[in-house]
Amino acid sequence: MIVGTHRLLQPDVKFKDLGLVIVDEEQRFGVRQKEALKALRANVHLLTLTATPIPRTLNMAMAGLRDLSIIATPPPNRLAVQTFVVPWDDAQLREAFQRELARGGQLYFLHNDVESIVRMQKQLSELVPEARIGIAHGQMPERELERVMLDFQKQRFNVLLSTTIIESGIDIPNANTIVINRADRFGLAQLHQLRGRVGRSHHRAYAYLLVPDKRSMTPDAEKRLEAIASMDELGAGFTLATHDLEIRGAGELLGEDQSGQMAEVGFSLYTELLERAVRSIRQGKLPDLDAGEEARGADIVLNVPALIPEDYLPDVHTRLTLYKRISSARDSDALRELQVEMIDRFGLLPDPVKHLFAIAELKLQAQELGIRKLELGEAGGRIVFEAKPKVDPMSVIRMIQQQPKLYAMEGPDKLRIRVPLPESVDRFNAARALLTTLAPG
C-alpha cells in the first residue's frame, strides 16, 4: 500500500500491479488527473470519497455510469453549523469574535488574497484588540506554515487569518466560528468544505459569509450563496452537490470541458440517450446510435380508453409525472409498485388507468419479442415485427396452418389477425395470448 499526494500521478511513477486506487477529497482533483488515475491500469478499481462530489462525477453517478453510496449519518453529538450571509459590518463581526473568544474558542478568518493579508491582519487587530491573530497561506515556507498551524492547534493564538489552504484536512475541535471574506468568489463545494472546518465537536458552530453589494455579484454567485445558506443541516453535502450540478452544468462525460452539449439536444433527450447507452453496455452490447423507432419500444393500440382521468387526479403536473413514470418503467415489478403507490395516494384505480397499466405491461412483453406494433380492434388487427424479431417462427407457421381463416402473413413483417374482439377485455386477453404463443419456448 502507498499513501501519497498528487505526486503519485507524475509520469515517472510506475506501478507493477495496481488493483485499487482510493481518492480522498475528490473535488480537489481535476479531470485530467482523474483520467490519469484511470489510465494507470485498464482494470483498476477506483473509489472516490468526497463530501461534495463535483457536477461531472455526480452526473455520472446519477446516470448509472458509476456506483454511488451516501453516508448521511453524522458523528454522535454533532450539531449543524449555523450559516449567515451578511455584508461587512464592524459591529456584527466584533460581536461574533467576542462571543467565540469569551467561551474559550478559536476562529478562522478566511481572506483569499496573499498580497493584502497583512493589511487585513491590521484591520482585524483594530476591530478586536483582544484577538491574537496568526497568518497562514500557501506561499509561506513549509516549516513556518507548519509552526503556525501547530501554534493554532495548541491555542497560542485564537484567530487564524488564512487563505483557502485550510479547505480540507484541518481538524481543530476548539475552532467553532469561521468568517469567509468575499464568499461570492468561492464555489459551492468550496464553501461547504470551508464551513466544515468548524463544528467538529459538540459545540454549536457559526459560519459568516461576507458578501458585497448585490450589484457586485453575479447571478450564479447569488444562487450559490442562497443554496449554502438554506442547506445548513447535517449531511447536506449531497443536496448541495445537486444544486452545484444545476448551476454549473454536468460537463462532457468523455472530454475535459465543463459545459458539454446537453443544451443542444435538451435535457430529456440527453438523459434518454445516455440511459439507453448505459443499458446496452450493461447487457454486454454496443450502444446502437442509429436506433430510431425500435429504441422507443413497441406501439400497442387496442382502441380502448387508457389514461388518467381528470376527475381521478385533477393536478396536471402530477398526471404528466405519472405518465412519464409509467412509460419509463422497465419491468412488471416497477409497474406493480407504481399501481400500489397510486392506489395509496389517490384511491382505487378506475378502468382507464387499469387499461393504461395493462398496455404498459404488454408493451414491455412486445418489446422483448422484437414486435414493433400490436394493433387490435373490434374486427381483429395486426402485428408488425422488427427486422430481426425474437419470436418462435414455428409458432407463427402453426397458427397460420391450423387457422388460416384467422391468421395470415401480409408481407415479410406483418401478421394479420381476423378475430372478432368486440369488448376491451377480449382485446387484452387476445393480446396476452398472442404474445405468450409467439414467445420462444
What are residue 209's DSSP bridge partners?
A: 85, 180
Residues of the chain above pLDDT 70, percent: 90
Q: How far apart are CA 207 and CA 215, in angstroms?
A: 23
Mean pLDDT of the chain: 86
Name the more confident of 169 and 423: 423
Taking 90 as the threshold, does the pLDDT of residue 335 lie above it? yes
Burial class (CB in 10 A: 0-12, 13-18, 19+), 330: exposed
Mean pLDDT of 357-385: 92
Q: How far apart are CA 155 and CA 207, in angstroms?
A: 20
Mean pLDDT of 220-245: 80
Digit-coded pLDDT (tens) for 127-141: 999 999 999 999 999
Calculate the dihedral angle through the C-alpha atoms of 382, 385, 391, 393, rounding to the nearest 10 degrees: 80
pLDDT at 143: 94
Mean pLDDT of 354-372: 92
CB of 204 closer than 8 Å to CB of 176 = yes
* 135-149, 166-180, 255-269, 413-427: segment of lowest average pLDDT: 255-269
Q: How far apart are CA 144 and CA 138, in angstroms?
A: 11
36, three cell numbers: 490519469
Name the more confident of 388 and 417: 417
Digit-coded pLDDT (tens) for 181-231: 999 999 888 898 899 899 888 888 999 999 998 888 998 899 889 888 887
Q: By C-alpha distance, which of 160, 108, 166 is closest to 134?
A: 160
Distance of CA 427 to CAs 187, 355, 362, Å? 58, 11, 11
Grid look-up 507493477 returns: 16
pLDDT at 269: 66
Instruction: Give the chain's domains with CATH numbers.
Output: 6-49 (no CATH), 82-234 (3.40.50.300), 293-438 (3.90.1150.50)
Name the more confident of 384 and 62: 384
Digit-coded pLDDT (tens) for 389-413: 888 888 899 999 999 999 999 888 8
Distance of CA 170 to CAs 4, 193, 255, Å? 17, 10, 33
Q: By C-alpha distance, which of 192, 198, 187 is closest to 51?
A: 192
Full 3-state SS string of the chain: CCCCCHHHHCCCCCCCCCCEEEEECHHHCCHHHHHHHHHCCCCCEEEEECCCCCHHHHHHHHCCCCCCCCCCCCCCCCCCCEEEEECCCHHHHHHHHHHHHHCCCEEEEECCCCCCHHHHHHHHHHHCCCCCEEEECCCCCHHHHHHHHHHHHCCCCCEEEECHHHCCCCCCCCEEEEEECCHHHCCHHHHHHHHCCCCCCCCCCEEEEECCCHHHCCHHHHHHHHHHHHCCCCCCHHHHHHHHHHHHCCCCCCCCCCCCCHHHHCHHHHHHHHHHHHHHHHCCCCCCCCCCHHHHCCEEECCCCCCCCCCCCCCHHHHHHHHHHHHHCCCHHHHHHHHHHHHHHHCCCCHHHHHHHHHHHHHHHHHHHCEEEEEEECCEEEEEECCCCCCCHHHHHHHHHHCCCCEEECCCCEEEECCCCCCHHHHHHHHHHHHHHHCCC
CB of 263 closer than 8 Å to CB of 113 = no
Q: How confident is the model at residue 293 (pLDDT cuts 50, 70, 90)?
A: very low
Taking 80 as the threshold, does the pLDDT of residue 433 lie above it? yes
Q: By C-alpha distance, which of 243, 383, 226, 215 is closest to 299?
A: 383
- What is the layout of strands, in order, in the sheet containing 407-409? 299-301, 371-377, 380-385, 414-417, 407-409
pLDDT at 252: 59
pLDDT at 40: 67
* 61-65, 168-172, 209-213: segment of lowest average pLDDT: 61-65
- CA–chain centroid gap for 251, Å, is 13
Residues of the chain above pLDDT 90, percent: 49
Distance of CA 19 to CAs 1, 282, 327, Å? 10, 22, 41
Q: By C-alpha distance, which of 38, 56, 59 is closest to 47?
A: 38
Digit-coded pLDDT (tens) for 19-61: 888 888 887 787 778 777 767 656 788 888 888 777 777 777 7
* 74-78, 105-109, 368-372, 379-383: segment of lowest average pLDDT: 74-78
Mean pLDDT of 429-436: 93
Mean pLDDT of 343-347: 93
Taking 60 as the threshold, does the pLDDT of residue 290 lie above it? no
Grid look-up 395486426 returns: 382
* 121-125, 167-171, 435-439: segment of lowest average pLDDT: 167-171
* 211-220, 241-250, 304-313: segment of lowest average pLDDT: 241-250
Q: How far apart are CA 205 and CA 198, in angstroms?
A: 6
Taking 60 as the threshold, does the pLDDT of residue 257 lie above it? no
Q: How far apart are CA 122 and CA 34, in angstroms?
A: 41
